[in-house]
Amino acid sequence: MRLIQQRARRTPAQRIIKHRLTLAVLLTCAAAIAMVQPTTAAPGNASGTAHASIAADTGTANAIQPGGTLTRITDNRNSFALPAPTLDPKQLRDFNFGNRLFNTNWTVAPSSANGFDGLGPTFNRVSCSACHLRDGRGRPPQHDEKELLSMLVRISLPGTNRGDDAEIQGDDAHGGPRPHPDYGDQLNDRAIPGVPAEGRVEITYDEIAGAFADGTPYSLRKPRVTLHDPAFGPFDDLLLSARVAQHMPGVGLLEAVPEADIVARADPDDRDGDGISGRANRVWNPIMQRTELGRFGWKANVATLQQQTAAAAHGDIGLTSSAFPTENCPPAQTACAAAPTGGAPELSDRFLDRIVFYLQTLAVPARRGAERDEVRRGENVFKEMNCGSCHAPILRTAPDTMPVVLADQTLAPYTDLLLHDMGEGLADGRPDFLADGREWRTPPLWSIGLFKAVNDHTNYLHDGRARNLEEAILWHGGEASAAQKAFIDADATTRRALIAFLESL
């Protein structure tokens, strides 16, 4: 249901009642605030006993409408694929076309599906939505699944690509990962008929036992990623980074947050001494031909939605575009290079623009049950455990953003879009521009409570290793060690409240 329509449909009498109610609520809140003693939130003190009224905290002013006017009330399977309620009819048509492109299964060229052929030659999946199913979160293989369905493995040689190895790097020497000469920087585990796939990925797990301070046991699964069936020589010396597909709602709003606001939160030398630094990634944008702030991807390794979309079309589906005009076939892959193409380029600028517009204008689901007592308690626990020093509750978009529907919005995304050292447990050991092997971008927490409804799973973190929200928190280390310890030390009621809060996002 549209929040805006809902408001417009009220009768004058209803509006007066509503205003009286609002006044009454405000007065009650003011009284409550006056009675509550100011509480100092010590990190690690997770007793959950100090409940300052949430109305007192401007940080939660937007709690119910995380995406500002792009918010929609929804809790079903389709929650991540809805248009912003503020689109005009022309924009809605563009959105619908972008939606269709996001869900298009690309076919092998040449084909009668004119405009939608050019898959591969090597690729991971045949559509954006194959990985971002219903615009949602991917997961690692389950049970006896042999293939990756909604994730991929980035690969590279040790070090970074700074032009010290000119033969391999060529023009791309801008500090990014060093591609393997025969396999590139991402393993393509599928290929069109007559072309060999590059190899196959297997993920197995070791269970690691642990216990909360109150004695309750838990177990975490640590993934081991191995590559098999190398088609072009051994997979020696490769750095591997397995990553699940991220959820899409709100990415346009995150793109519209002014760079200065993001950089202002960085504290690379931890001047304030809270153990949490936070660094901005700076990445090469091949479309703009310049280095820019990184915002997207698990390591903030991509600058813009345009770059992300063109790179995904190229790297994940095998579609050329004006940004990536040549097929993704390293010199050793001769069958790949000889395969027919779907035209030059396979993905037109117009199609690329429509997909970007679609991503930009997706609605953000409203919170569910935010007013419940347990959820409010959980929100206080979130504050007390300092989760918000990385998962920043509030950001604003720039007033001059295009399309205008994204401008001037107050958001509750729960991310600072910065890189944090998350410790050895989560490390992939693979640098990605300025991000080192232990650093990850703080993921936005909006919508994470809806993965179950949309994608039928509750896997979290960059490789989907966490089987639920509790495990996701337990994996936190490095700069987040104090938050993780506070969670381990907390009693069961406090832990449950925190999880209830996360599920309401």
411 touching ligand HEC, by CB under 6 A: no
488 touching ligand HEC, by CB under 6 A: no
Q: Which is nearer to ligand HEC, 320 or 442 (CB)?
A: 442
3 touching ligand HEC, by CB under 6 A: no
Residues near ligand HEC (CB under 6 A), total: 55
Least distance (Å) between residue 55 CB and ligand HEC: 22
Q: Which is nearer to ligand HEC, 3 or 487 (CB)?
A: 487
180 touching ligand HEC, by CB under 6 A: no
Please tell me the number of Cα atoms within 13 Å of 195 on its side-chain side.
Answer: 27
317 touching ligand HEC, by CB under 6 A: yes
User: Where in 111-130 is the site for ligand HEC (CB under 6 A)?
Assistant: 124-125, 128, 130
313 touching ligand HEC, by CB under 6 A: yes
Least distance (Å) between residue 242 CB and ligand HEC: 9
Pattern 352-381, ligand HEC, x by CB under 6 A: ---x---x----------------------
Instruction: For residue 348, give the amino acid letter.
Output: S
Least distance (Å) between residue 226 CB and ligand HEC: 18
Here the tokens at position 343 are 């035209």
User: Where in 438-477 is the site for ligand HEC (CB under 6 A)?
Assistant: 440, 442-443, 445, 448, 460-462, 469, 472-473, 476
480 touching ligand HEC, by CB under 6 A: yes
Q: Which is nearer to ligand HEC, 198 or 479 (CB)?
A: 479
User: Where in 123-162 is the site for ligand HEC (CB under 6 A)?
Assistant: 124-125, 128, 130-132, 151-152
Least distance (Å) between residue 111 CB and ligand HEC: 18
CA–CA–CA angle 159, 162, 165 (5° rounding): 80
Residue whose C-alpha is closest to residue 43's, from 316, 389, 334, 303: 389
CB 254 within 8 A of CB 413: yes
Least distance (Å) between residue 276 CB and ligand HEC: 5
Q: Which is nearer to ligand HEC, 220 or 469 (CB)?
A: 469
Here the tokens at position 316 are 């994940």
DSSP structure string for 96-133: HHHHHHHT---BPSS-SSTTSB---SEES-SSHHHHSG
246 touching ligand HEC, by CB under 6 A: yes
Q: Which residue has the tokens 């006044």?
A: 23
312 touching ligand HEC, by CB under 6 A: yes
**Cα 336 to chain center, whole Å?**
31
298 touching ligand HEC, by CB under 6 A: yes
306 touching ligand HEC, by CB under 6 A: no
Distance CA 431, CA 421 (A): 12
Instruction: For residue 209, give the amino acid letter.
Output: A
Helix (H) or strand (E) holding 202: strand 200-211
Secondary structure in 3-state letters for 317-335? HCCCCCCCCCCCCCCCCHH
Instruction: Give backbone dihedrals phi and psi of 224, rounded to 5 degrees, phi first.
Output: -120, 120
Least distance (Å) between residue 431 CB and ligand HEC: 13
Q: Which is nearer to ligand HEC, 116 or 460 (CB)?
A: 460
Least distance (Å) between residue 422 CB and ligand HEC: 5
Looking at the DSSP bridge assignments, the partners of residue 211 are 217
Site stretch for ligand HEC (CB under 6 A), options 64-72, 204-212, 237-245, 335-343: 237-245
Site stretch for ligand HEC (CB under 6 A), options 35-43, 192-200, 231-239, 243-251: 243-251
Least distance (Å) between residue 63 CB and ligand HEC: 16
The residue count for the chain: 505
387 touching ligand HEC, by CB under 6 A: yes
Beta strands in 348-425 (DSSP E): 364-365, 395-396, 410-411, 419-421
Secondary structure in 3-state letters for 243-289? EECCCCCCHHHHHCCCHHHHHHHCCCCCCCCCCCCCECCEEEECCCC
503 touching ligand HEC, by CB under 6 A: no
Least distance (Å) between residue 29 CB and ligand HEC: 26
Q: Which is nearer to ligand HEC, 327 or 479 (CB)?
A: 479
Residue whose C-alpha is closest to residue 255's, from 149, 397, 119: 397
Residue from 133, 276, 395, 500 touching ligand HEC (CB under 6 A): that is: 276
Least distance (Å) between residue 166 CB and ligand HEC: 25
Contacts by residues 471-477 (CB-CB < 8 Å, ≥ 24 positions apart): 471/218, 471/220, 473/498, 474/210, 474/218, 474/220, 475/220, 475/422, 475/425, 475/426, 476/422, 476/423, 476/426, 477/422, 477/423, 477/424, 477/425, 477/426
Helix (H) or strand (E) holding 92: helix 89-102
Burial of 111 (0-12, 13-18, 19+ CB in 10 A): middle
245 touching ligand HEC, by CB under 6 A: yes
Task: Give whole-number Cα distances, 246 to 55, 90, 129, 333, 435, in Å.
Answer: 32, 28, 11, 30, 18
Residue from 198, 316, 470, 503 touching ligand HEC (CB under 6 A): that is: 316
Task: Give whole-number Cα distances, 294 to 123, 135, 153, 255, in Å.
Answer: 25, 21, 20, 10
Contact residues for ligand HEC, defined by CB under 6 A: 124-125, 128, 130-132, 151-152, 243-246, 251, 276, 296-298, 301, 305, 308-309, 312-313, 316-317, 355, 359, 382, 385-387, 389-391, 420, 422, 426, 440, 442-443, 445, 448, 460-462, 469, 472-473, 476, 479-480, 483, 487, 498, 502
